[in-house]
Amino acid sequence: MRGSGDGFVRCSDGHVRWGRFGAAGVLFVHREADGVHVLLQKRSQWAHEGGTWSVSGGALDEGETPAEAALREASEEVGEIPGHRFIGEYVFAPADDWSYTTVVVEVDGRFGFSANFETDAVGWFRLDEVDGLPVHAGFAAAWPALRRIVEGG
């Protein structure tokens, strides 16, 4: 089912991006005895930069906050989200009329599976493991700021 925000838009900087009202994703964090782990999904081959690892996410629907959109998209892509709390966010705003917000959410336990055609795999990774993964270019650019949020949370 299509949401009201689904669709490409030409932004004020001239680039075409997904999400009529912007887009959002979520980086899930779980703290364990052996360190902090984050949940990433491997984008399916049909998706933009398919085969790379990134956060779950997608277009904001009209009237949705970035956090609401990120959690909705994640539940569609990687399954039901356990108890959680927000610990921060990072906003990439390359144009006056479009932004991508990554919310950082700590969860009570590990979860996740490939819930639909957008996700080829799901994995929990230690922070130092993320640097060695083939990641989506947008996530790679945001990762230093996201990591600081995770380490400070």
Q: Block means of pLDDT (10 residues each) for the chain, length 153 residues?
A: 86 94 97 96 78 91 96 93 96 95 97 84 96 93 97 82
**Residues 38, 124: Cα–Cα separation, whole Å:** 5
pLDDT at res. 85: 97
Q: Which of 89, 100, 54 is nearest to 74 (CA)?
A: 54
**Residues 38, 108: Cα–Cα separation, whole Å:** 12
β partners of residue 104 = 27, 88
pLDDT at res. 45: 75
Q: Are 54 and 73 in contact (CB under 8 A)?
A: no
| In the chain, domain spans | 8-152
pLDDT at res. 24: 97
Token pair belonging to 95? 């144009």
pLDDT at res. 1: 60
DSSP secondary-structure letter at 67? H
pLDDT at res. 153: 61
Residues near 43 by beta carbon (within 8 Å), at least 6 away in sequence: 49, 50, 51, 52, 53, 54, 118, 119, 120, 136
β partners of residue 84 = 107
Q: Are 37 and 30 in contact (CB under 8 A)?
A: yes
Q: Are 13 and 22 in contact (CB under 8 A)?
A: no
Q: Please, where are the H alpha helices in the chain?
A: 66-78, 127-130, 137-152
Q: Which CATH architecture has domain 8-152?
A: Alpha-Beta Complex (3.90)
pLDDT at res. 3: 84
**Residues 4, 112: Cα–Cα separation, whole Å:** 26
pLDDT at res. 110: 96
